[in-house]
A and B are shown apart, each in its own frame.
Chain A
C-alpha cells in the first residue's frame, strides 16, 4: 500500500504566521489524486484540497497546495485562530486509499 509520511508531526506557530506542511508518498500517486483535510477536536474532517492543488468549495484562498508524484505540500498563509487543527493528507489514486498520520498545527 501507499504509505503517506507527513511532516512535521507538530508545527508550533502564531496567528499571522505561514504554515508549510509536507506529505510524502512511498510511491507515485496516480494522477496526483491527493487531498488535504482539516480536523478540529470533536469534529468530522473537512475537505480543503483535492487533486493535489484544487481548493474545495468555500475554502479560503489562504490555503494552497501543490505537488506531484510523491511530494506534496499544503501552505497556509496568515494563520487565523480557527486554522489551528490537525491536517491530514489522503491519496485516492492508488489502491488501497490511505491517509497520512497528520500534522498538528498548534499555537
Chain B
C-alpha cells in the first residue's frame, strides 16, 4: 500500500546534528514532491521544507542554512540533514507526499533537542 515511514528521530544536544529519513513504498516515488512538516509538543503544524521531482528545494526561514533536504530516487527515500539544532527544533517530524495538497503522511519521528 501507499506508505511513508520516517526514521532517525532521537535525543540530541543543542548544536548537534541529526539525519531524518523518509522511506516511500507503494507508488512511483520519483513522480512526487516530498515535504517535511513538524509539530512541537502541544503546538500546531509548521511547514519545514520540500523537495521537488527535480530536487529543487525550499525551506522555512526558521531552518534555512541549518537543514538540507535531499532525495535518492533509487532508494525511494528523502533525507533531512539537520545541523546546529536548537531547543525550538524539538518536535514530531512528518514527511508527506504531494505538491498540490499533501495526501499521504508518515506516522512521524520525534526529535528532542535538550542538554
**Which residues of the partner chain B approach A51 to less than 8 Å between Cβ atoms?**
100-101
Of chain B, the residue at the smallest CB distance from A34 is B101
B9 within 8 A of A: no
CB distance A45 to B45 under 8 Å? yes
How long is the Cα–Cα vector from A102 to B40 in the complex, in angstroms? Answer: 14
How long is the Cα–Cα vector from A33 to B98 in the complex, in angstroms? Answer: 13
Counting chain A residues whose Cβ lies within 8 A of the other chain, the interface size class is: 20 to 34
A30-75 contacts to B (CB < 8 Å): 33, 35, 37, 39, 44-47, 49-51, 56-57
CB distance B58 to A47 under 8 Å? no
**Which residues of the partner chain A approach B103 to less than 8 Å between Cβ atoms?**
47, 50, 56-57
B66 within 8 A of A: no
Task: State the Cβ distance, B33 to closest chain A Cβ, in Å.
Answer: 10
Q: Which residues on B are within 8 Å of A, measured CB to CB?
A: 35, 37, 44-47, 50, 58-61, 94, 96, 98-103, 105-108
Enumerate the 7 nearest inter-chain pairs by beta-carbon distance, A residue then B residue, closest first: A50-B101, A44-B105, A97-B47, A99-B45, A35-B101, A102-B44, A47-B103
